[in-house]
Structure 1
Amino acid sequence: MRENEDYRILCWLVISFGGGIVLFFQLSEPIPLKVAAFVSTIAFIGAGIFFRKRFFFILLMLMGFFAGGVTSSALRMERIKTPVLERILIGQLKGLVESVEIRNERRPQLTVRVLEFSGLKPSEIPVKVRVTLRPSSILQAGDYIDAQVRLLPLPQPVRPSGYDFARDAYFKGIGAVGSVLGQVSLLDNSAQYTLESGFMFSIDRLRNRIAKQIYESVGEPGGGIAAALVTGKRGYITEETNQALRAAGIYHIVAISGLHMVIAAGLFFWSVRYALSLFPAIALRWQTKKIAAVAAMFGAVTYCVFSGASVATIRALVMTMVMLGAIVAGRHAISLRNLSLAALLILLFSPEALLGPGFQMSFAAAAALISLAPYASRLSLKMTNSGSFKRVLVKTLNWLIALCLTSLAAGLATAPFAVYHFHTAMPFGLIGNILALPLVSLIIMPLGVIGVLCYPLGLDEPVWWAVGIATGQVVKAAQWVETFGGSVQYFSALQPMVLLLSAIALIWLTHFRSHLRWGFIAPMGVAIVSTVLFSKEYVAFVDRDGRAVAVRSENGALVFVGRINSFLAEQWLRADGDGRSYAEVKPVKNAGCDALGCAHEGIVSVAIVHKSAAFEEDCRRADIIVATTRVPITCQAPVIIDKRALQVKGAAAVLRNSQNQLIVEHARVENARWPWQRGL
């Protein structure tokens, strides 16, 4: 059979490795490293013993890689081990500023490596914290600061199956978030530097200076996009521009990822190869393609470091280096095996990346494009011996066909992941990408490289002016697509099983090459049916501190009761498939509140109780009691969510089952023992 001839064992081994990672993080507590390592070692030893027995060898290798995924995750947990703040705390902080995110419309955000913090034992001090500053404050990476700060525990999921912000921060070494109170004092930092940290601080300062220079040179509306594309600093992009980019399906262009890394590496590759071709003695004797690939490797590493070396950028760098390494080795650069190798390298060192939308969408799009490549040539127009004009026309049409096919394939492959994580789909993303990507690939990125090279000479401003013209057109294109009716479609939150089935369907479609690939219809069909038949419509959401509730009104829309912030409100709205902004719902959020608590009548009646005097009345009439104090045993409300339940199990959501009973779900399992879940 064709599948036996083309067997992609490495691809399936990496998929098994990912399955082990998924299992590890789905449990209520970490699997001990020794247990995972023992199981994987036994499996690999068994594979060695049965090396000549193909079936048993492959089976044991799959088991070994599955256990290897668990081992990699457990090892990563051992390496991180940063203390996590368990309560709100105000104290004096001394630490090194590692990075500064300047924000055009909001307060600057610092990541600080903590050296001292009053009120905590050394073993309790988080390695890093993320804090916001007053807009007028001027700090930069490398500053040694002394400031009073208010720190909070890491933000937990706002609903069942919601995104775990605390886990994401924990694996970045961040153990608390908060804000700076008052003035910041600068201390002598000469004794705090290492060679590596000093270099990274210098890079962050340079990125912020160039980002500011680009923004001031270009202005609105394209200045923020230009700064993001060149430096990776997205703080200058206005919220209106962000919304337009999302509606057009091109927000991915402002996040330094695979697209940018490929363009940057490609610029170095083709520039070096073209320069070498100008010298016949070199072109005829040397392997210029391999030399250009090595040069592109250095260029890609340089771009990664300059753009901040974020997790997404490093992931894109690994993928690019594997492809370029294949060229140096004389192998096909674009293949599922190389993609699998890149995924394995990333997951070995950062297994938690598998759980994030960036990794999932990047590799889904790449797998789809690689699988499409053998069939794309069949749709290309054939070149003839006609005149030069017709040849140019044919090449242009083929380029447009390729752009449409790649945008469509990538969009379809990433759609389930986008709907699951962001609850949105952009049906006109194909149009947005066709309009924006040529400008990004052919004008903005090449000019960005030239501008950075001209910056030390003070000759960069004309370059940024030209970049601004192109980014301005990108914004206009996005705003035009945004005007289309239904440019953004909102979906209520999908269950994790739907995402898993969609991923299985994509893997099946891209990894089989014979008629077996049509088997992807089964898991995809089950995913679609599950979405329609088993979706959950919650009647209420409850915040983890018990002071805010979203309850469904008689017209089916959510209204807010109690004290709620914009972030929490929009997370709930998006999970409900509601496209309204916080400001549009804000006027009704304080209805029915007094000193004792809050109450609201919707599809169900909800009461938030702050003082015990309110229990007598609220327990008689409310369907759901949310209490920030102890609930008396005489309270007979159908659903009681007290402070203890929220502390132990996190945010809650209430739904009706088939028997019309109200059921409570929480964001975490009661006995979960993950380190980032402390402080609930």
Structure 2
Amino acid sequence: MTTGGVSLPLSLAIVSRFLSNMCMATRGTPSVPMGEAGENARETVSRPWRMRGAMSSFADRCEAFLAGAEFDRGPWLAVAFALGIGLWFYLPSPDYWTATIFASLAAGGLAVLRWRNRDGRDYLRASVIAVSLALVAGLALVWARSAMVGAEPIPHPRFERIDARILEREEQPAEGRTRLVLAARERESGSPIAYRVSLPAEQDHTDLREGARIRLAARLMPPSPPIVPGAYNFARRAWFDGLAATGSVVGEVELVEAAPDAAFTISAIQRKLSAHVRDRLDDTPGAIAATLASGDRGAIPEHDEEAMRDAGLTHLLSISGLHVSAIIAATYLLAIRLLALWPWLALRVRLPLVAAAAAAVAGIAYTLLTGAQVPTVRSCIGALLVLIALALGREPLSLRMVAVAACAVLALWPEALIGPSFQMSFAAVIAIVSLHNVQRIREFLAPREEGWLRRFGRRAAILFLTGLVIELALMPIVLFHFHRAGLYGAAANLFAIPLVTFVTMPLVALALFLDLAGVGAPVWWLVGLSLDLLLGIAHFFAEQPGSVKLAPRIGMGTMLLYLGGALWLALWQGRARMWGLAPLVLSAGLIVIAPVPDLLVTRDGRDIGIANQADRLLVLRQSEGGYAQQNLLELAGTDQAPLELAEWPRSHCSREFCRFSLDGLERNWEVLVARNRDQVAERALAAACARVDIVIAARYLPRSCRPRWLKADRGFLAREGGLAIHLDESRVDTVAADQGEHGW
């Protein structure tokens, strides 16, 4: 991993040195008679400028290729900036980060020194310099942000009395709890520290809001790393959120100092608006309407949220690009139409500029009202850039505009790059813009004299094609992060997006407006009908056979191969863009054949999953709906109910241990797994260990326990974290190997 991570910047330096030598080559090659082959060979050794001439011509061809392909550095600079951020997360230690920075700067420096005004190669020279600097900027930025905002986790679980102020409050009625982010001070050092605790809904009350000072007792845990390799990494998110621990409240919460009057703060307005909407509509429609109005999605039941996810409609529940764009577009169109009715103003003021300003105010207000979460702010920034382009008379939807929006977001939150929200949002936008920049698509959508039915058919066809392209672009990203993806999202979105954009959201806005006069009830009834229809669409597509694709852990190499091919296909111009299909097809094949680990062991050793041996995943203990078991099922690429190991005919279990044999390609593997922490005679345990290849236990095992290959006891798991074991390759993937020397 480490060697491959540094290879890119090092290869940039090598290529720069290689091309710089070409710039020193002479033009032309003296002719050599056919009969002087031997002498020619000697001259090739003694006159190296001939090789340099060939290299120089290669650089000329590169320059001509970039010019002929209408190469646009703008989007690729954003890619290089993102690559620098990604390398910081991927490379394991500061030594590698520093080496990458110096290698990139060396590549740019060589381009400056050796290609200056040489043979007209300014385009290639400028590209190398700009890409090198962008990569360094990205890596340095995320390194600096990590150092500034990262919160050191507490060293071990503990029970603590906390005197703190509430920073954030998040209500989650569907989970029966409220989450509080607290600011306190360490007892020993007095340094500030932040916790996130869960408060049962029955203990919650309205006085526990932002700014209040409280005292409570809580069980605290360090933020959890991935439970097994490839699982969700909450510790990394907590590091950038500044959280040192998470936990749950024990007992009553004492209000020491009430919060200042906050009737008109954004969070208070958001909560009141959410509660108002849920009062007008019951059950899931009310929860979804509250999400659209205020961004509060904590009341959506789990089964309905799963149906939306499996149908490819989860994006409708997250206030992001679709919702912000709908608000801004509606405001822009309404403003420009109303202003055009005033001739005096239309003759004296540039109406697109005024309409864009009104739409910008509406977009910013909606972003603040819905909580100003990172995805919403990101979408608002992109929409504001589109408005600026419209006001200036520029092309609003271009890859350069997308690149500017991506750089703006990454400059503020570089850690967003590795999150699914950023990747899915920009992958969808890039797919849309690239598709609609294709000449044939432009011709297909061009205005023409035709009936409304044919016009509607063309629009529906392009909407379906757009949805299909988006689904294909997002599926590898979704599988990489969540290990499951809906396959019918294009068809579901064909109905759901117009329904939400042109029916539900306008009705919600109208109902809220009419509620000012107390006459919004009929419109709320219509909102409920539209949301019932949305839920019906979600459940219909989610329940179809083969509606969900499951996948085990996808390797980072496969993902980089996909991203490289997709970006090449989207950002390049001309026939050369088709070269991106090769890595796309190859990565798709690797995703399909991604291997399932034979053994998955959680970081505490209390849960294991055994795949590839039975029709269902074998687990040590049944914990239906549990977090650990859900992760094991996802990474095994199955949604079937697991089978308890003790019920498997090929296992032999006592009260303390289970022993079983796993089939491999070349041999069978004997495994011994501890079922509990009960004491066992050391001599008997040592004899049992000597007869097996692998021992797994949630407790410390004595040194006398020596299996033939691997002993994964509590000490080993505490050091290495969860395990993914591939028997045929004799390979053990660990969580610790993925973490490197990052702070979390």
- Above 0.5 in TM-score? yes
Q: Which residue of 1 aligns with 2:378?
A: 315
Relative contact order (alpha carbons < 8 A, sep ≥ 6): 1 or 2 greater? Answer: 1
Q: Which residue of 2 aligns with 1:425?
A: 485
CA distance 1:329–1:31, change in 2 (3 Å):
farther
Structure 1 position 574 matched with structure 2 position 634? yes
CA distance 1:275–1:594, change in 2 (3 Å):
same
Matches for 1:262-281 after TM superposition, within 5 Å: 262-281=325-344
Q: Deviations over 1:219-269 (max 9, x none)?
A: 133222211122111111111211221222111100111111111111221
Secondary structure of residue in 1 paired with 2:307: helix
Structure 1 position 300 matched with structure 2 position 363? yes
Cα distance in 1, alignment partners of residues 100 and 523 from structure 2: 54
Shift of 1:577: 0.9
Matches for 1:393-542 after TM superposition, within 5 Å: 393-453=453-513, 460-532=520-592, 535-542=594-601
Cα distance in 2, alignment partners of residues 189 and 138 from structure 1: 12
Cα distance in 2, alignment partners of residues 622 and 514 from structure 1: 60
Q: Deviations over 1:153-189 (max 9, x none)?
A: 1111122233322111221222211111111111214
Structure 1 position 347 matched with structure 2 position 448? no
CA distance 1:185–1:15, change in 2 (3 Å):
same
Decide whether the 8 Å contact of 2:197 with 2:218 is kept in 1. Answer: no
Shift of 1:40: 7.3
CA distance 1:400–1:563, change in 2 (3 Å):
closer
Shift of 1:284: 3.3
Question: Percent identity over the alignment?
Answer: 25
TM-score using structure 1 length:
0.89
Structure 1 position 54 matched with structure 2 position 120? no
CA distance 1:318–1:130, change in 2 (3 Å):
farther
Decide whether the 8 Å contact of 2:311 with 2:541 is kept in 1. Answer: yes
Bigger shift: 505-514 or 217-226? Answer: 217-226
Query: What letter is aligned with 2:194?
Result: V
Cα distance in 2, alignment partners of residues 438 and 190 from structure 1: 42
Decide whether the 8 Å contact of 2:180 with 2:197 is kept in 1. Answer: yes
Decide whether the 8 Å contact of 1:232 with 1:308 is kept in 2. Answer: yes
CA distance 1:532–1:240, change in 2 (3 Å):
closer
Q: Which structure has the greater CA radius of gyration? A: 2
Decide whether the 8 Å contact of 2:150 with 2:240 is kept in 1. Answer: no
Cα distance in 2, alignment partners of residues 100 and 593 from structure 1: 50
Q: Deviations over 1:399-441 (max 9, x none)?
A: 3123212211211111110111112232211221111111110
Shift of 1:634: 2.7
Cα distance in 2, alignment partners of residues 159 and 525 from structure 1: 29
Q: Which residue of 2 aligns with 1:90?
A: 159
Decide whether the 8 Å contact of 2:215 with 2:254 is kept in 1. Answer: yes
Decide whether the 8 Å contact of 1:648 with 1:670 is kept in 2. Answer: no
Q: Which residue of 1 aligns with 2:242?
A: 173
Cα distance in 2, alignment partners of residues 559 and 264 from structure 1: 49
Matching residue within 433, 442, 447 for 1:377: 442
Q: Which residue of 2 aligns with 1:585?
A: 642
Q: Which residue of 2 aligns with 1:630?
A: 700
Cα distance in 1, alignment partners of residues 99 and 275 from structure 2: 51
RMSD over equivalenced CA pairs, Å = 3.0
Q: Which residue of 1 aligns with 2:88?
A: 24
Query: What letter is aligned with 1:639?
Result: L
Structure 1 position 613 matched with structure 2 position 684? no
Q: Which residue of 1 aligns with 2:198?
A: 131
CA distance 1:171–1:448, change in 2 (3 Å):
farther
Cα distance in 1, alignment partners of residues 567 and 630 from structure 2: 32
Cα distance in 2, alignment partners of residues 351 and 648 from structure 1: 29
Number of residue pairs the alignment of both structures matches = 656
Shift of 1:543: 1.3
**Which 5+ residue runs of structure 2 have no aligned equivalent?**
1-63, 663-669
Decide whether the 8 Å contact of 2:182 with 2:195 is kept in 1. Answer: yes
Matches for 1:107-256 after TM superposition, within 5 Å: 107-116=176-185, 121-123=189-191, 126-139=193-206, 140-142=208-210, 143-189=212-258, 202-256=265-319
Bigger shift: 398-407 or 554-563? Answer: 554-563
Query: What letter is aligned with 2:297?
Result: R
Secondary structure of residue in 2 paired with 1:102: strand
Q: Which residue of 1 aligns with 2:602?
A: 543
CA distance 1:74–1:453, change in 2 (3 Å):
farther
Structure 1 position 7 matched with structure 2 position 75? no
Decide whether the 8 Å contact of 1:380 with 1:398 is kept in 2. Answer: yes
Cα distance in 1, alignment partners of residues 405 and 224 from structure 2: 31
Secondary structure of residue in 1 paired with 2:619: strand
Cα distance in 1, alignment partners of residues 661 and 318 from structure 2: 41
Secondary structure of residue in 2 paired with 1:7: coil
Shift of 1:325: 1.8
Decide whether the 8 Å contact of 1:82 with 1:175 is kept in 2. Answer: yes
Decide whether the 8 Å contact of 1:563 with 1:590 is kept in 2. Answer: no
Cα distance in 2, alignment partners of residues 458 and 617 from structure 1: 79
Cα distance in 2, alignment partners of residues 589 and 370 from structure 1: 54
Shift of 1:34: 8.5
Structure 1 position 72 matched with structure 2 position 141? yes
Shift of 1:553: 7.0
Q: Which residue of 1 aligns with 2:716?
A: 645
Cα distance in 2, alignment partners of residues 45 and 357 from structure 1: 35
Query: What letter is aligned with 1:330?
Result: G
Q: Deviations over 1:134-166 (max 9, x none)?
A: 444224531332111111111111222333221
Shift of 1:101: 2.6
Structure 1 position 672 matched with structure 2 position 672? no
Shift of 1:479: 1.6
Q: Deviations over 1:529-565 (max 9, x none)?
A: 43355x3321211111222222237314222215867
Shift of 1:116: 3.7
